[in-house]
Amino acid sequence: MSSYDVVVIGSGPGGYVSAIRCAQLGMKTAVIEKYQTLGGTCLNVGCIPSKALLDSSEHYHAAVHSFQEHGIQVDKPRVDFAQMMKRKAGVVSTTCEGIDYLMKKNEIDVLHGFGSIVDKNTVQIIGKDTTTVSAKHIILATGSKPIELPFAKFDKERIISSTEALSLKEIPKHMIVIGGGVIGLELGSVYKRLGSEVTVVEFAKSIIPTMDGAMGKELMRSMKKIGVKFSLSTKVSGVHRDGELVQVTAINKKGEEVVFEGDYCLVAVGRGAYTDKLGLENVGIDSDDRGRIAVNAQLQTSVPNIYAIGDVVRGAMLAHKAEEEGVFVAESIAGEKPHINYDLIPGIVYTWPEVAAVGKTEEQLKEAGTEYKMGSFPMRALGRSRASGDIDGVVKVLADKKTDEVLGVHIVAARAADIIMEAVTAMEFRASAEDIARICHGHPTYTEALKEAALAATGNRALHS
Ligand code: FAD
Ligand code: NAD
């Protein structure tokens, strides 16, 4: 039986990053993955393929809708959907192969097969590399799976999850999206841009309901401009497929029954921790009320040498959060004293304009009774936005009323995903709004909107609005 210092189950961004850090710290490490390719949800059916399709569909949308304004005449652009999907598959396979390279470079053994815990130091692998290995430490990084509504079982053809939506063979005529969260809005954007009718049915009273309320409103305005339809405060009660037709029945905010008809229904109502047949019961590891593996502040399970990270534990289901936890656990095992600032994990929605946020929302500050100041700046007032034609959006800075410390930054804007990192960096150093306002920002850049919003937060000093 091979023996390792660390065995990691799952090769997503949590697992593979953790394995690399363990190897860097001199530990003999193996990674177990049940699929043929490494990289987990993120690389195979998550972040990477969705962003590839978001970029391709955005190019098409620009060619149809804004090239003319920029003085570019092209004959009627057409979508070659098969080529778009082929490119996406190529991006995914190149990225996954990159992980194979990193495993080899760091001398990490990769075992393909389904891993399960036999006892606190033994893992069984069944599949291509059937074997049993011993481990001083085990890291569970088994990720998550789409949540299925009890009345809308995935048939993977017409009633689909994000996984199928990333590999459709045709552009839907009318895609009904259940859930106005991150996946619903990103994949809804892809198909709307490609010509589908898209209707988003959301249970809450706003889209992206966990983000700052103003962001949901701003994004909805932009998405309505490209023709996405929304039905908010609407509770789906049934999904029925009849051949190529899908009917979604729901109760709207007036309490009336409404029926949406389309040819595809994307169910995007969240993801649940994946621990099937992992053998947690063999060692008495507890799960919480949502089926996630329970961990302490050190990410240790109730068995001290077994850790869990990423989507399978509490917290944001984000690749970068999983990566941070992977590094944290590796360094903890090596005896170091790492730290993760969970308050400063940025959240990003890759619609156009993008949405990005870090820190507290205005709703959270109100609920906590924190006295705060707010400064905002509209993207349309920025030279850079007018030059590119991306004038939708707003930057909002929330700062402590007395100390001026920045408590939250919320952005809807072109390239918000990149702008937010300035706010994260500033907040890691506990910057005040005045600090950001006094930093010289390159001109013309989208980041100037953050400076202007910080100026507004410090006392109505925005220079360009
Ligand atoms: P995963 O990536 O889910 O990896 C877990 C791995 O473990 C899988 O490969 C699985 O096969 C394997 N596994 C499970 N059980 C076993 C077992 N018993 N034996 C062997 N192997 C096993 N996050 C972002 O930050 N940015 C984004 O833009 C983004 N876009 C997304 C788009 C979509 C459509 C989806 C679905 C998700 C997106 N996410 C995004 C979320 C992100 O993908 C996850 O947060 C991230 O992948 C979690 O990483 P993980 O390592 O915890 O788990
Ligand atoms: P989500 O939690 O973001 O959104 C789910 C939405 O569905 C919520 O708005 C919720 O109110 C709504 N909902 C729930 N039940 C409903 C019902 N019965 N009828 C109508 N609406 C209902 O979940 P998601 O979009 O499925 O994404 C799953 C996870 O994947 C998220 O946690 C996210 O962090 C991650 N993800 C991240 C990115 C990114 O970082 N850009 C992209 C995609 C996915």
My answer on whether 187 and 139 are in the same domain is: no
My answer on whether 239 and 294 are in the same domain is: no
Q: DSSP letter string over 318-363?
A: -HHHHHHHHHHHHHHHTT------GGG--EEE-SSSEEEEEE--HH
- CA 231 distance to own-chain centroid: 23
Cα 257 to Cα 131, 200, 201, 235, distances in angstroms:
55, 16, 13, 10
Find the 180 Cα to ligand 2 centroid distance in Å.
Answer: 7
- Residue of 59, 65, 443, 464 marked active site: 443
Residue in 203, 239, 345, 352 to alter for ligand 2 test, most ligand atoms within 8 A of Cβ: 203
Please report how many Cα atoms fall inside a 13 Å half-sphere around the Cα of residue 104, on the Cβ side: 6
Residue 39 lies in a domain: yes
- The ligand 2 atom nearest the CA atom of 181: 4
Residue 348 lies in a domain: no
For residues 267 and 260, the answer to whether their CB atoms sit within 8 Å is no
My answer on whether 109 and 182 are in the same domain is: no
CB atoms within 10 A of CB 439: 13
Amino acid at 46: G
Q: Which of the ligands is closest to the CA of residue 277?
A: 1
Q: Is 146 in the pocket of ligand 1 (CB under 6 A)?
A: no
Per-residue pLDDT of the chain (465 residues; tens, 9 = 90+): 899 999 999 999 999 999 999 999 999 999 999 999 999 999 999 999 999 999 999 999 999 999 999 999 999 999 999 999 999 999 999 999 999 999 999 999 999 999 999 999 999 999 999 999 999 999 999 999 999 999 999 999 999 999 999 999 999 999 999 999 999 999 999 999 999 999 999 999 999 999 999 999 999 999 999 999 999 999 999 999 999 999 999 999 999 999 999 999 999 999 999 999 999 999 999 999 999 999 999 999 999 999 999 999 999 999 999 999 999 999 999 999 999 999 999 999 999 999 999 999 999 999 999 999 999 999 999 999 999 999 999 999 999 999 999 999 999 999 999 999 999 999 999 999 999 999 999 999 999 999 999 999 998 899 998
Q: Please state the φ and ψ torsions of residue 456, each to the nearest 5 degrees.
A: -65, -35
CB atoms within 10 A of CB 440: 6
Cα 146 to Cα 153, 270, 273, distances in angstroms:
11, 6, 9
pTM above 0.85, yes or no: yes
Q: Which of the ligands is closest to the CA of residue 181?
A: 2
Among 213, 241, 269, the domain boundary falls at 269
Cα 429 to Cα 21, 142, 435, distances in angstroms:
25, 33, 10
CB atoms within 10 A of CB 403: 11
Q: What is the number of structural domains in the chain?
A: 3
SS3 34: coil
Length of the chain: 465
Find the 270 Cα to ligand 2 centroid distance in Å.
Answer: 4
- The ligand 1 atom nearest the CA atom of 350: 28
pLDDT at 450: 98
Q: Is 143 in the pocket of ligand 1 (CB under 6 A)?
A: yes
Q: In whole angstroms, what is the distance from residue 308 CA to residue 278 CA? A: 12
- The CATH number given to whatever domain includes residue 437 is 3.30.390.30
Residue 154 lies in a domain: no
pLDDT at 336: 98
Q: In whole angstroms, what is the distance from residue 74 CA to residue 76 CA? A: 6
Q: DSSP letter string over 395-456?
A: EEEEEETTT-BEEEEEEEETTHHHHHHHHHHHHHTT-BHHHHHHSPPPSS-TTHHHHHHHHH
Residue 151 lies in a domain: no
Residue 152 lies in a domain: no
Candidates 373, 355, 341; CA nearest to 459 is 373
Residue in 43, 131, 142 to alter for ligand 1 test, most ligand atoms within 8 A of Cβ: 142
My answer on whether 381 and 445 are in the same domain is: yes
My answer on whether 294 and 337 are in the same domain is: yes
My answer on whether 317 and 394 are in the same domain is: no
pLDDT at 465: 87
Residue 25 lies in a domain: yes
My answer on whether 137 and 200 are in the same domain is: no
- Catalytic residue check, 443: yes
Residue 252 lies in a domain: yes
Q: Is 308 in the pocket of ligand 1 (CB under 6 A)?
A: no
Q: Is 41 in the pocket of ligand 1 (CB under 6 A)?
A: yes
pLDDT at 149: 96
My answer on whether 9 and 134 are in the same domain is: yes
Q: Which of the ligands is closest to the CA of residue 14?
A: 1
Ligand 1 atom 52: the closest Cα is on which residue?
Answer: 310
My answer on whether 96 and 193 are in the same domain is: no
- The ligand 1 atom nearest the CA atom of 40: 9
Ligand 1 atom 12: the closest Cα is on which residue?
Answer: 10
Q: Which domain holds residue 189?
A: 159-269
SS3 80: coil
Find the 13 Cα to ligand 1 centroid distance in Å.
Answer: 7
pLDDT at 460: 87
Residue 422 lies in a domain: yes
Q: Is 262 in the pocket of ligand 1 (CB under 6 A)?
A: no
My answer on whether 140 and 10 are in the same domain is: yes
Among 248, 269, 290, the domain boundary falls at 269
My answer on whether 279 and 138 are in the same domain is: yes
- The CATH number given to whatever domain includes residue 76 is 3.50.50.60
> Which position has the token pair 């930057």?
395
Q: Is 317 in the pocket of ligand 1 (CB under 6 A)?
A: yes
Amino acid at 332: S
Among 342, 377, 393, the domain boundary falls at 342
Q: Which of the ligands is closest to the CA of residue 416?
A: 2
Identify the helix (H) or strand (E) that includes residue 238: strand 235-242
- The ligand 2 atom nearest the CA atom of 47: 42
My answer on whether 135 and 35 are in the same domain is: yes
